[in-house]
């Protein structure tokens, strides 16, 4: 039955940045669908652990700072998830930062920090998980892209560069790994009400301008991404490779 193909019972997922925002909603969705969770991040994800465990699923906390970790640390993080939870079926590269400053004066340290967390960490985690998934002949990788994977944005050149690159990387990996049973795809959230967009929502003119441009007429909630995450993590998406699934209230259609 088709709905069975969406179930994730017995699977193990690693999600980055699941202590709040979109990562918490995605981790919750995967746990609701039956997966056990490894939660990789720098802040204790106690609330997310409680939610996952209340669903009867296991939650493993894997401490790690994506801004400072290198390829070896990411490989260790993935290995510890496999060692503790027995396997790895799903990777969600969710953690991300944004720095707002005009392009002409965009601080070099902001450029470096954003590229490191939003792109370098994504690639190194894809590599580390990909080695395991290619060996076992199956796996699902979901990278979190953005509307700024399509558009230029204003005062966010580092973020736009990183998020465009995330889509390119998703497609590049899909081309290499699809024939080996590994699905690499992305979700492009629209404008979601999280800490990432707090500055935009605190400015009444910007908030109104953005909301007026969204065909759905409202900002998204992290929970709006739950269905897309479960779909791309599941057997229902077995022939979906290199896709970017926009969950944006119609923003791109405008």
Helix (H, G, I), strand (E, B) or coil at 226: helix
Count the helices and strands in the chain (H runs, E runs): 9, 7
Given a contact cutoff of 8 angstroms between Cβ atoms, the answer to whether 51 and 20 are in contact is no
H helices of the chain, in order, are 21-32, 46-54, 71-85, 108-115, 121-136, 157-177, 198-202, 204-213, 226-233
Query: Under the criterion CB under 6 A, does residue 171 sit at the interface with ligand NAP?
Result: no
Query: In the annotation, is 159 catalytic?
Result: yes
What is the helix (H) or strand (E) element at residue 144, kind and residue range?
A: strand 139-144
CB proximity list for 64: less than 8 A, separation 6 or greater: 40, 41, 42, 73, 74, 77
Asked if residue 185 binds ligand NAP (CB under 6 A), the reply is no
Q: 41 vs 157, which CB is nearer to ligand NAP?
A: 41
- 10 or 63: CB nearest ligand NAP: 63
Site for ligand NAP in 33-52 (CB under 6 A): 41-43
| Centroid of chain to Cα 68 | 19
Instruction: Choose the binding region for ligand NAP from 2-10, 15-23, 206-214, 232-240 (rule: CB under 6 A).
Output: 15-23
Name the minimum Å distance from CB 74 to ligand NAP.
Answer: 11
Nearer to ligand NAP, 9 or 47 (CB): 47
Q: 134 vs 200, which CB is nearer to ligand NAP?
A: 200
Provide the minimum distance between the beta carbon of 180 and ligand NAP in the complex, in angstroms, as a whole number: 26
Site for ligand NAP contains 23 (CB under 6 A): yes
Does residue 15 touch ligand NAP according to CB under 6 A? no
Per DSSP bridges, beta strands 139-144 and 182-189 are parallel
Contacts to ligand NAP from residues 108-127, by CB under 6 A? 117
Catalytic residue annotation: 159
Residues near ligand NAP (CB under 6 A):
17, 19-23, 41-43, 65-67, 94-97, 117, 144, 146, 189, 191-192, 194-197
């Amino acid at each position: 039955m088709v709905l069975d193909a969406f179930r994730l019972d017995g699977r193990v997922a690693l999600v980055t940045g699941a202590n709040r925002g979109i990562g918490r909603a995605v981790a919750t969705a995967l746990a609701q669908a039956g997966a056990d969770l490894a939660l990789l991040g720098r802040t204790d994800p106690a609330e997310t652990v409680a939610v996952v465990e209340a669903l009867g699923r296991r939650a493993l906390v894997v401490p790690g700072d994506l801004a400072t970790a290198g390829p070896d640390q990411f490989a260790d993080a993935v290995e510890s998830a496999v060692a503790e939870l027995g396997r790895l079926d799903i990777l969600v590269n969710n953690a991300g930062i944004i720095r707002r400053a005009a392009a002409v004066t965009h601080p070099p340290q902001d450029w470096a920090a954003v590229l490191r967390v939003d792109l370098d960490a994504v690639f190194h985690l894809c590599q580390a998980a990909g080695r395991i998934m290619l060996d076992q002949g199956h796996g699902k990788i979901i990278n979190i892209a953005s509307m700024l994977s399509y558009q230029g944005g204003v005062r966010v050149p580092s973020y736009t560069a990183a998020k465009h690159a995330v889509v390119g990387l998703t497609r590049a990996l899909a081309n290499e790994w699809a024939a080996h049973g590994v699905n690499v795809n992305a979700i492009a959230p629209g404008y979601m009400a999280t800490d990432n967009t707090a500055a935009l929502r605190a400015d009444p003119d910007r908030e109104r301008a953005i909301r007026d441009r969204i065909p759905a007429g409202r900002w998204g909630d992290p929970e709006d991404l739950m269905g897309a995450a479960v779909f791309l993590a599941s057997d229902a998406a077995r022939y979906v490779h290199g896709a970017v699934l926009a969950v944006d209230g119609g923003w791109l259609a405008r």
